[in-house]
């Protein structure tokens, strides 16, 4: 049985997302020296804030601020280190943009500090591996993104293995989504994300992208992050992440067609256009 999402607007005390035209864009803001595609570009807080303002002006519906790269092989950044990077940027953005700011972290203390600073959403790439995250989202009534990852960023690409990647990822996400609901997070505030590139081979990523229908018919909205990722480099032969924009555009258009609600991207101006067109061309099945 398919579970269909009926309401188009998700509203909570400190934010609002309107899905009435279809998919919306989340802009990536990495306040890091080493992210895979834009590392160092926005490590300086003023440059980070400037980029956040630009993404909002370009049509991002959400800005996702992160203080730790989770690219394959990366090392964790301490809680204090993440807080020092992201909080000044979040404080400045909250004053100057009217779109919700999301905090990309799996660390409870970072999420708590970010919400205190005005962030309105939690993006947890470990899908509540720290259960306090679920309590926090419920208490503060903020949406939460639950992402699937096999292993940890340090080791995840060494030898990812699944019997049936789509079923296993889906089952994991549904169990974490139920856990979030048990904590008291409303169903419409939960976004599930199969985690492209997080403990997945090229073939695993392709199976997930071809099998998106199973994720979008769960009754939970789906967020997807394909932007500039290495599977696009593998398919196009483009080594440099910044050369992967057209490849990203193809994946974004097909995600929209499949019914994804949020695409997480680096190239906001370009992908806002892709999403606008794809939203209109989407054929209801």
Contact positions toward ligand HH2, by CB under 6 A?
28, 30, 32, 35-37, 66, 69-71, 104, 123, 125, 145, 147, 193, 195-196, 223, 225, 264
- CB closer to ligand HH2, 82 vs 188: 82
Q: Tell me if residue 229 is catalytic.
A: yes
Nearer to ligand HH2, 37 or 140 (CB): 37
How far is 111 from 169, CA to CA, in rounded Å? Answer: 24
94 Cβ contact list (under 8 Å, min separation 6): 101, 117, 118, 119
Structure tokens at 194: 């199969």
Active site residue 244: no
Q: Residue of minimal CB distance from ligand HH2?
A: 225
Half-sphere exposure of 155 toward its Cβ, with a 13 Å CA cutoff? 4
For the bound state, the minimum distance from the C-beta of residue 126 to ligand HH2, rounded and expressed in Å, comes to 10
**Of 264, 276, 280, 282, which is the active-site residue?**
264
Q: Do 220 and 187 contact (CB within 8 A), yes or no?
A: yes
Q: Shortest gap between Cβ of 33 and ligand HH2 (angstroms)?
A: 10
Q: Give me the least distance between CB of 193 and ligand HH2, in Å please.
A: 4
CA distance 269 to 230: 21
How many angstroms from the chain centroid is the CA of residue 77? 19
Nearer to ligand HH2, 113 or 255 (CB): 255
User: What are the backbone dihedrals phi and psi of residue 154, each rounded to the nearest 5 degrees, phi first?
Assistant: -60, -35
Neighbours of 3 (CB within 10 A): 10
DSSP helix/strand/coil, 15: strand
What minimum distance in Å lies between the beta carbon of 37 and ligand HH2? 5
CB closer to ligand HH2 out of 31 and 49:
31
Residue tagged active-site, from 229, 240, 244, 276: 229
Q: Catalytic positions, please?
A: 229, 264
């Amino acid at each position: 049985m398919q579970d269909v999402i009926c309401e188009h607007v998700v509203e909570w005390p400190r934010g609002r997302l309107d899905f009435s035209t279809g998919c919306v864009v989340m802009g990536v803001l990495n306040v890091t020296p080493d992210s895979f595609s834009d590392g160092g570009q926005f490590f300086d807080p003023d440059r980070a804030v400037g980029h956040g303002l630009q993404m909002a002006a370009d049509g991002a519906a959400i800005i996702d601020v992160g203080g730790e790269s989770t690219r394959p092989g990366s090392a964790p950044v301490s809680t204090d280190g993440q807080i020092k990077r992201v909080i000044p940027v979040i404080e400045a953005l909250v004053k100057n943009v009217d779109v919700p700011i999301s905090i990309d972290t799996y660390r409870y203390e970072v999420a708590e500090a970010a919400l205190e600073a005005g962030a309105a959403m939690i993006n947890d790439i470990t899908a509540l591996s720290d259960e306090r995250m679920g309590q926090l989202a419920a208490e503060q009534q903020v949406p939460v993104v639950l992402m699937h990852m096999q292993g940890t960023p340090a080791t995840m690409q060494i030898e990812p293995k699944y019997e049936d990647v789509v079923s296993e990822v889906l089952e994991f996400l549904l169990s974490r989504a139920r856990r979030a609901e048990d904590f008291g997070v409303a169903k419409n505030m939960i976004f599930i994300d199969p985690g492209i590139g997080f403990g997945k081979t090229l073939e695993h990523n392709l199976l997930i992208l071809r099998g998106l229908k199973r994720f979008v018919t769960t009754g939970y909205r789906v967020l997807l992050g394909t932007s500039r990722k290495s599977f696009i480099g593998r398919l196009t032969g483009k080594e440099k992440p910044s050369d992967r924009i057209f490849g990203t555009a193809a994946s974004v258009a097909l995600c929209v067609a499949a019914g994804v609600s949020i695409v997480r991207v680096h190239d906001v101006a370009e992908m806002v256009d892709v999403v606008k067109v794809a939203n209109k061309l989407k054929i209801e099945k």
